[in-house]
Chains A and B, each alone.
Chain A
Amino acid sequence: AQTVTQSQPEMSVQEAETVTLSCTYDTSENNYYLFWYKQPPSRQMILVIRQEAYKQQNATENRFSVNFQKAAKSFSLKISDSQLGDTAMYFCAFMKGGAQKLVFGQGTRLTINP
């Protein structure tokens, strides 16, 4: 079975700083996808970024980028120029290729301070 671990329960940074959230996973699969989701207090789960395991290039979406280290089974999220609206719970998630269901990490509560 796949497991996803987020070792940072909480993080806090100042507005405009860069912050990196950590995620490690365990799997014997070769075909899989990794995701970062954001859950603000409104509780809506928002897809931030997706990484395909077969792609060596790290995914990037505007201020959000990932550092995908397949051999180390590590998938960190970097948020650049952080904004107050980035305050939320962030969940790392794993999906086996073809399975479509997600396995989530425990989450990291990120607070951006003015």
Chain B
Amino acid sequence: SAVISQKPSRDICQRGTSLTIQCQVDSQVTMMFWYRQQPGQSLTLIATANQGSEATYESGFVIDKFPISRPNLTFSTLTVSNMSPEDSSIYLCSVSKDYDQYFGPGTRLTVL
């Protein structure tokens, strides 16, 4: 399995600002994933982050809005840029190990 931590656990932000979410894993992993869960909805993949290469974004998500860093095999960040109230969601990072995918506790973001 994998133990994943995220910071911050929650935040309230003003529109037009940016927030960087950190994700730390207790072991080295090749791929890390960032998901968004809008209120009352299911999870949608934002992007896949590989160490040493640019993140791969899913349809509907762009790098300018959600820049991702992956400086090493245990850490990644997701930035939500120029936020609007529509960005209010839970953001979760996850990692894949042995065909199973494990999730962090999530970051609850509220944009006013």
Query: Which residue numbers of A lie inside 8 Å of B, CB to CB?
Result: 33, 35, 37, 42-45, 47, 50, 52, 91, 95, 100-107
Is B42 at the interface (CB under 8 A from chain A)?
yes
How far in angstroms is the closest Cβ of chain A from B86?
Answer: 19
Contact across chains for B43 and A102 when beta carbons are under 8 A apart: yes
Contact across chains for A43 and B42 when beta carbons are under 8 A apart: no
* Complex: chain B residue closest to A47, CB-CB: B100
* Cα distance A47–B17 in the bound complex, in angstroms: 34
Binding site secondary structure of chain B: strand
Contact across chains for B43 and A91 when beta carbons are under 8 A apart: yes
Cβ contacts under 8 Å, A45 to chain B: 43, 92, 94, 103, 106
Contact across chains for A104 and B42 when beta carbons are under 8 A apart: yes
Which among B33, B42, B48, B100 is the interface contact of A91 at CB below 8 angstroms? B42
Which among A35, A52, A102 is the interface contact of B45 at CB below 8 angstroms? A102
Cβ contacts under 8 Å, B100 to chain A: 35, 47, 50
Contact across chains for B42 and A101 when beta carbons are under 8 A apart: no
* Cα distance A105–B42 in the bound complex, in angstroms: 7
9 further A-B pairs in the complex, CB-CB below 8 A; given A37-B103, A52-B99: A42-B105, A43-B106, A45-B92, A91-B43, A100-B33, A102-B33, A102-B94, A103-B45, A104-B43
CB-CB under 8 A for A100 and B31, given A43-B90, A106-B42: yes
Is B15 at the interface (CB under 8 A from chain A)?
no
Contact across chains for A44 and B42 when beta carbons are under 8 A apart: no
- B21-65 CB mask vs A (1 if < 8 Å, else 0) is 000000000010100010001111100100000000000000000
